Amino acid sequence: DGGITQSPKYLFRKEGQNVTLSCEQNLNHDAMYWYRQDPGQGLRLIYYSQIVNDFQKGDIAEGYSVSREKKESFPLTVTSAQKNPTAFYLCASSGRQGGRTQHFGDGTRLSIL
């Protein structure tokens, strides 16, 4: 089945540690996105990528980094510079085939130990 797979589902990070969240899609979508969701707040865009080897900062990119070496993959690294990383992280993708609407993975919950 086509879809977006995020892993892990739950992740714990120690202070000062970088962690990488995985996002893979087999929908043949060109565009991919990373969002963060905090309680009582809407989703906020961290980074997005329209094509391979290209990505742009979203509204809250500080403390995060991404890469887009393959069309199917858009990993997000939460660096130690992100002082408040505890949140629900959602990856999405969109493409012409899907009418350009964004479809989401089932998310990764990141917590600080």
Q: Which of 81, 86, 96, 111 binds other proteins (CB under 8 A)?
A: 96
CB of 15 to other proteins, least distance (A): 25
Amino acid occupying residue 40: G
Q: Where are the beta strands (DSSP E) in 52-96?
A: 54-57, 64-66, 76-78, 87-94
- Maximum Cα interatomic distance, the chain, rounded to a whole number of Å: 41
Site string for other proteins, 47-86 (x = CB under 8 A): -x-xx------x----------------------------
Residues 6-35 that bind other proteins (CB under 8 A): 30-31, 35
List interacting residues with other proteins (CB under 8 A): 30-31, 35, 40-45, 48, 50-51, 58, 88, 90, 94, 96, 100-107
